C-alpha cells in the first residue's frame, strides 16, 4: 500500500505523523515519499538501507556541511514538470510556459547533478555523464543565444524571418493594417518554431523523465539519512527467523517525556512466528508497545531506519491491527461490533502462504470477563495453528498455553511510605494532583519479562489509590476483594 493511501486512514499508531516529519527539499521528492510502497522484497529493503547508511556517513562529516546545504537549496529549485514531459513524449507541441519549464529544469537539474557528484564523489548516480550531456543538448536547443539564464521566449536566433517581421512590426506602429498583418505573420512563424522545438526535444523526453525521477529519489534518500541521524535511528538487519529489538523506543513519546525533563525507558523484545500474550498493570505501556512495534515494522518496510539501539527484523507480507477505532464507532458500530469485525477480517486474511505481523490491543475488552477470556484464548489458538507472529494484550486471566510477557510494573524499590503520604494527602481531594501521576509514571518499570503465570497482575486499586481516586471508592473496592 502506498503511503498516500495510508494517509487517508486513521493514524492509530502515529506512523503517518512520523513520516510527515521527514524533510524532503523538493516537491518531486515529497511526491515520491507519499508514493512509496510497502516493500516485501528483502533485497530491495537491504539496498535501500545500504544507500541510506552510505549517505549518513557522508553528511555526518563536518567538511560536507556547506555542500549539503547547497544541494538542499538546489533540490528546492527543482519543479515538478512531469506532466509537461509526458506531453512532450506524446509528440504534442509545447507552449512558451512549457518550453520555459523544460529549460529551467535542464539548468537546475544540471546543477543538482553536479552537486550530487561533488558531495558523493560520483558514486551515487549511475550514468551521471549521460544525464549531463542530455541537459547540455536541451539547453543548447532552448538557449540558442547562450545567455545562460533559464527564462525563455521565442528568440530571433531561431529564424531570420522572425527577426525581419519583428523589425517591420516596430516600423508599422503607425499603420494599423500593416501592423495587424505583420503580427499575424509573427504568430504563425512563432508557432512553427514551437513545433520545431518540440520535435527536437521529443527524443530527450524519456531521459528527462528519468532525470526528474532520479532527483526525486536522491532527495528522498538524503531525507531518510537526515531523519535517521536526527532521531538517532538504527540500521536494522534483516532476519528470517525472528525479530529482535534492543532499546526499542517511540520517537514521539520519547521526545515529549524528555521535553518535560523525564527519562524515557527503552524496551528489549524478541519474537518469532508465534503469538505472544502481554499482560501488566494499567498505565504499564502495553498499548504503546504495540503501537511502537507497528511503527518500527512500517518504517522498516518503507525503507527507513528504525527507533532502536539495535534491531534484527523479519520481513512480513502484511501488518494487521485491532485497536480502538473511533471512525468505526462514528459509523454506528459499538466498540465490540467494530472490534469483532476487525478480528474476523484478520482471521480471514491469515494464510500459511503469507507472513503476517498481527497486533491486537485488549481483545474483547468491552464484554464480560468469562466470554472475553474465551475469545482471547480462541484467538491465541488460531494464531498458534497458523504460526503467526502476533501480540495480544489483555487484562483477562488466560489459561491457554502460549508465550507470555508481562510489564514488570511498579519498581521493586518503590517507597511505600511515599505512597502512604500521597494517599493520606488525597483523602479529602476529589481529583488527583498532577504530581501523583508524575510520581507514578516515574515508578513504573516498563521492561517486558517472561511470565509463566496464567493470572494477570492485580494492582488496579493500588494505582487508583496513588492517583488520588475518592477514598470511599477505594475502601469499598478493597473490602469486596477480601470477601
Judged by DSSP in three states, 343 sits in helix
Averages of pLDDT over each 10 residues, the chain, 483 residues? 91 93 97 97 97 95 94 97 97 97 97 93 80 95 95 94 92 89 94 97 97 96 97 97 97 91 91 94 86 98 98 97 65 76 92 90 90 95 95 90 88 56 52 60 83 72 76 83 74
The answer to whether residues 271 and 243 touch, using CB atoms and an 8 Å cutoff, is yes
Judged by DSSP in three states, 375 sits in helix
Query: Checking phi first, is residue 280 left (phi over 0); if not, alpha (psi -120 to 50) or beta?
Result: left
Residues β-bridged to residue 390: 275, 358
Parallel, antiparallel or unpaired: strands 403-410 and 444-450 = antiparallel
pLDDT of residue 471: 82
pLDDT of residue 128: 80
Cα angle vertex 214, ends 208, 220, to 5°?
140
Fold of 234-482: Rossmann fold (3.40.50)
pLDDT of residue 148: 93
The answer to whether residues 281 and 408 touch, using CB atoms and an 8 Å cutoff, is no
Instruction: Write out the three cell numbers for 193.
Output: 518554431
- CA 373 to chain centroid, in Å, comes to 35
- How far apart CA 54 and CA 64 sit, in angstroms, is 14
pLDDT of residue 314: 98
| 3-224: CATH, from 1.10.340.70, 1.10.1420.10, 3.10.20.30, 3.30.420.40 | 1.10.1420.10
Nearest in space to 290 (alpha carbons), one of 306, 269, 262: 269
Domain boundaries, the chain: 3-224, 234-482
* 128, 409, 478 from 458: Cα distances, Å: 65, 11, 12
Amino acid at each position: 500500500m502506498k503511503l498516500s493511501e495510508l494517509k487517508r486512514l486513521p493514524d492509530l499508531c502515529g506512523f503517518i505523523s512520523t513520516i510527515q516529519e521527514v524533510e524532503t527539499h523538493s516537491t518531486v521528492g515529497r511526491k515520491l515519499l507519499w508514493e512509496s510502497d510497502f516493500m516485501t522484497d528483502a533485497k530491495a529493503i537491504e539496498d535501500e538501507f545500504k544507500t541510506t547508511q552510505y549517505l549518513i556517513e557522508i553528511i555526518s562529516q563536518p567538511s560536507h556541511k556547506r555542500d549539503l546545504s547547497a544541494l538542499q537549496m538546489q533540490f528546492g529549485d527543482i519543479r515538478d514538470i512531469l506532466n509537461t514531459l509526458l506531453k512532450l513524449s506524446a509528440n504534442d507541441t509545447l507552449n512558451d510556459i512549457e518550453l520555459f519549464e523544460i529549460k529551467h529544469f535542464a539548468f537546475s537539474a544540471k546543477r543538482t547533478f553536479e552537486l550530487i557528484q561533488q558531495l558523493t564523489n560520483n558514486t551515487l548516480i549511475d550514468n551521471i555523464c549521460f544525464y549531463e550531456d542530455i541537459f547540455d543538448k536541451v539547453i543548447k536547443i532552448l538557449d540558442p543565444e547562450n545567455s545562460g539564464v533559464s527564462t525563455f521566449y521565442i528568440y530571433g536566433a531561431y529564424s531570420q524571418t522572425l527577426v525581419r517581421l519583428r523589425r517591420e512590426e516596430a516600423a508599422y506602429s503607425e499603420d494599423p493594417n500593416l501592423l495587424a498583418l505583420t503580427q499575424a505573420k509573427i504568430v504563425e512563424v512563432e508557432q512553427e518554431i514551437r513545433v520545431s522545438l518540440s520535435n527536437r526535444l521529443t527524443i530527450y523526453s524519456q531521459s528527462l523523465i528519468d532525470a526528474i525521477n532520479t532527483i526525486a529519489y536522491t532527495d528522498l534518500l538524503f531525507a531518510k539519512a537526515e531523519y535517521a541521524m536526527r532521531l538517532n535511528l538504527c540500521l536494522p538487519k534483516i532476519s528470517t527467523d525472528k525479530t529482535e529489538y534492543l532499546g526499542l523506543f517511540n520517537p514521539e513519546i520519547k521526545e515529549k517525556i524528555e521535553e518535560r525533563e523525564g527519562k524515557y525507558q527503552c524496551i528489549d523484545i524478541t519474537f518469532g512466528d508465534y503469538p505472544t500474550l502481554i499482560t501488566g498493570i494499567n498505565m504499564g505501556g502495553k498499548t504503546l508497545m504495540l503501537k511502537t512495534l507497528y511503527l518500527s515494522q512500517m518504517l522498516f518496510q518503507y525503507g527507513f531506519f528504525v527507533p532502536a539501539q539495535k534491531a534484527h527484523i523479519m520481513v512480513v507480507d502484511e501488518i494487521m491491527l485491532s485497536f480502538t477505532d473511533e471512525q468505526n464507532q462514528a459509523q454506528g458500530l459499538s466498540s465490540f461490533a467494530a472490534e469483532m469485525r476487525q478480528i474476523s477480517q484478520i482471521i480471514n486474511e491469515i494464510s500459511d502462504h503469507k507472513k503476517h505481523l498481527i497486533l491486537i490491543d485488549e481483545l474483547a475488552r468491552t464484554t464480560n470477563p468469562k466470554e472475553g477470556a474465551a475469545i482471547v484464548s480462541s484467538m491465541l489458538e488460531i494464531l498458534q495453528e497458523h504460526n503467526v507472529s502476533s501480540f495480544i494484550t489483555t487484562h483477562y486471566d488466560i489459561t491457554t498455553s502460549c508465550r507470555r510477557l508481562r510489564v514488570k510494573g511498579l519498581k521493586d524499590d518503590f517507597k511505600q511510605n511515599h505512597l502512604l503520604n500521597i494517599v493520606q494527602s488525597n483523602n479529602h481531594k476529589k481529583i488527583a494532583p498532577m504530581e501523583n501521576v508524575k510520581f507514578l509514571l516515574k515508578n513504573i518499570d516498563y521492561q517486558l519479562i517472561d511470565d509463566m503465570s496464567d493470572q494477570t497482575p492485580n494492582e488496579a486499586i493500588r494505582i487508583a489509590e496513588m492517583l488520588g481516586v475518592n477514598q470511599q471508592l477505594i475502601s469499598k473496592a478493597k473490602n469486596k476483594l477480601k470477601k
